Structure 1
Amino acid sequence: MTRLRPGLFRRSRRALLAGLVVAVAGAGFVSPLNASADPHPASDGWVKTADHGWIQVKPGTPLTATAKSAGKDAPHKAVAGKLGASRPAPAAATTKTGGRVTPQLQDGADPGTGDNGDGYVSNQYDLQMTYKGGQESTGVDIGPPKVYLVVWGSQWGTPSTNAAGDVVMSHDADQAVPYQQDFFKGLGSTGDTWSGVLTQYCEGIQAGTIQCPSSAAHIPYPKAGSVFAGVWVDNGAPAPQSATEPQLGAEAAAAAAHFGNTTEAQNRNVQYVIDSPQGTDPDTWRELGYCAWHDFERSSYGQLAYTNMPYLTDVAGCGTNWFGENTPRGRLDGYGIIGGHEYAETLTDPNTPGGWTDATGQEIADKCAWIPYGSNGGLFFENLSTGSFPLQTLWSNEEHLCVGASAGPVHTNPPVVLSTMCDRTDPPNTPVSIPAVAVDNTGSTVSYSATGLPQGLSINAATGVITGSAAATTGYTRITVTATDAAGKSASTGFWEGLFAGGQHGCGAIEQLINPGFENGSADVDHTVMTDSWSPNGYNLVTPSSLHSPHSGSWYAWLGQNTDQDDSITTYVNDYPGYQNESFSFWLDTETTNTTSTPDTLSLVVIDQYTQKPLGTVKTWSSKGAAAGYQQQSVDLTPFLNQVGWGTTLGVQLVAHESGSTPSTAFLIDDASVREY
Structure 2
Amino acid sequence: MPLRRRLGTVAIVGAALGVALVAGTGLASAKTTGYQPNPHGYTTFHDTRAGAAAVKPASNDLLYHGGFIQDHVAVYLVFWGKQWTGDRNGVQTYLTNFFKGLGQPADHWSTVTSQYTGKGGHPVFGTSVLKGVWVDNGANAPSQATAGQIGGEAQRGLTHFKATKGHNISMIVVSPHGVHPDGFGTPNHGWCAWHDSFNGLPFTNMPYVLDLGSSCGASSVRSRLDGFSIVAGHEYSEAVTDPMPASGWVDSRGAENADKCAWMHLHTISLATGTFAVQPTWSNKVHGCAG
* Residues 126-165 of structure 1: pairs in structure 2 closer than 5 A: 126-134=59-67, 139-142=68-71, 144-157=72-85
- Give 1:250 shift: 0.4
What is the distance in 1 between the residues matched to 2:76 and 2:103? 16
* Residues 71-82 of structure 1: pairs in structure 2 closer than 5 A: 82=39
* Residues 216-295 of structure 1: pairs in structure 2 closer than 5 A: 217-220=121-124, 222-224=125-127, 226-261=128-163, 263-264=164-165, 267-287=166-186, 288-295=189-196
TM-score normalised by structure 2 residue count: 0.84
Partner of 2:108: 193
Amino acid at match of 1:349: D
What is the distance in 1 between the residues matched to 2:25 and 2:52? 43
What is the distance in 1 between the residues matched to 2:52 and 2:269? 20
- Give 1:238 shift: 0.6
Amino acid at match of 1:140: I
Q: What secondary structure does 1:361 align onto? A: coil
Alignment RMSD (CA, Å): 2.0
Amino acid at match of 2:155: A
Deviations 1:281-325 (A, max 9, x none): 000012311001111011xxxx211110100100021010113x4
Q: What secondary structure does 1:291 align onto? A: strand
- Count of residue pairs the alignment pairs up: 260
* Residues 20-35 of structure 1: pairs in structure 2 closer than 5 A: none
Given candidates 22, 29, 50, the residue that maps to 1:64 is: 29
- Give 1:185 shift: 0.9
Given candidates 54, 71, 74, the residue that maps to 1:120 is: 54
Partner of 2:228: 335
CA distance 1:321–1:279, shift in 2 (3 Å):
same
What is the distance in 2 between the residues matched to 1:119 and 1:280? 31
- Give 1:121 shift: 2.4
CA distance 1:243–1:127, shift in 2 (3 Å):
same
CA distance 1:338–1:119, shift in 2 (3 Å):
farther
User: Contact 1:249/1:297 (CA < 8 Å) preserved in 2?
Assistant: yes
- Give 1:341 shift: 0.6
Q: Quote the sequence identity (%).
A: 42
Partner of 1:561: none
User: Contact 2:167/2:244 (CA < 8 Å) preserved in 1?
Assistant: no
What is the distance in 2 between the residues matched to 1:180 and 1:120? 28
Deviations 1:213-263 (A, max 9, x none): xxx81111x223x211111111011110000000000001111111112x4
User: Contact 2:79/2:134 (CA < 8 Å) preserved in 1?
Assistant: yes
Deviations 1:386-414 (A, max 9, x none): 1111111111111101011xxxxxxxxxx
User: Contact 2:43/2:191 (CA < 8 Å) preserved in 1?
Assistant: yes
- Give 1:354 shift: 0.4
Deviations 1:605-643 (A, max 9, x none): xxxxxxxxxxxxxxxxxxxxxxxxxxxxxxxxxxxxxxx
Relative contact order, CA 8 A, sep 6+: which one is greater? 2
What is the distance in 1 between the residues matched to 2:234 and 2:65? 20
* Residues 447-596 of structure 1: pairs in structure 2 closer than 5 A: none
What is the distance in 1 between the residues matched to 2:115 and 2:143? 40
* Structure 2: unaligned runs, 5 residues or longer: 1-23, 33-37
- Give 1:66 shift: 6.5
What is the distance in 2 between the residues matched to 1:156 and 1:362? 33
Query: As a proportion of its length, which structure holds more strand?
Result: 1
Partner of 1:525: none
What is the distance in 2 between the residues matched to 1:119 and 1:260? 47
Given candidates 40, 45, 51, the residue that maps to 1:88 is: 45
What is the distance in 2 between the residues matched to 1:304 and 1:193? 27
- Give 1:63 shift: 4.1
- Give 1:119 shift: 6.5
CA distance 1:289–1:186, shift in 2 (3 Å):
same
What is the distance in 1 between the residues matched to 2:111 and 2:130? 17
What is the distance in 2 between the residues matched to 1:321 and 1:200? 31
What is the distance in 2 between the residues matched to 1:189 and 1:83? 27
User: Contact 1:345/1:364 (CA < 8 Å) preserved in 2?
Assistant: yes
Task: Tell which structure's C-alpha radius of gyration is larger.
Answer: 1
Query: As a proportion of its length, which structure holds more helix?
Result: 2
Q: What secondary structure does 2:276 align onto? A: strand
Q: Residue 381 in 1 paired to residue 268 in 2? A: yes
